[in-house]
Amino acid sequence: MSVLVGKNTKVLVQGITGGAGSFHAKQMIEYGTKVVAGVTPTRGGEKFEGKVPVFDTVERAVKESGADTSVIFVPPPGAADAILEAIDAGCALVVCITEGIPAMDMIKVRHVLEATQAEQRAAGKPLTRLIGPNCPGIITPGACKIGIMPGHIHKEGHIGVVSRSGTLTYEAVGQLTSLGIGQSTCVGIGGDPVAGMDFVDVLELFQADPDTHGVIMIGEIGGGMEERGAKFIKEKMNKPVACFIAGTTAPPGKRMGHAGAIIAGGKGTAAEKMKALENAGAKIAPTPSDMASTLKSMMK
CA distances from residue 103 to 110, 224, 277 in whole angstroms, order as listed: 10, 17, 28
What is the torsional sign of CA 42, 48, 50, 53? negative
Whether 75 contacts 98, CB under 8 Å: yes
Q: How far apart are CA 229 and CA 47, in angstroms?
A: 43
Whether 196 contacts 131, CB under 8 Å: yes
State the catalytic residue, choosing from 24, 154, 213, 258.
Answer: 258
Reply yes or no on whether 258 is catalytic: yes
Q: How far apart are CA 257 and CA 247, in angstroms?
A: 10
DSSP assignments along 250-283, one per residue? PPTT---SSTT---BTTBS-HHHHHHHHHHTT-E
Q: How far apart are CA 65 and CA 130, in angstroms?
A: 21
Give me the amino acid identity at 122.
A
Active-site amino acid positions: 258
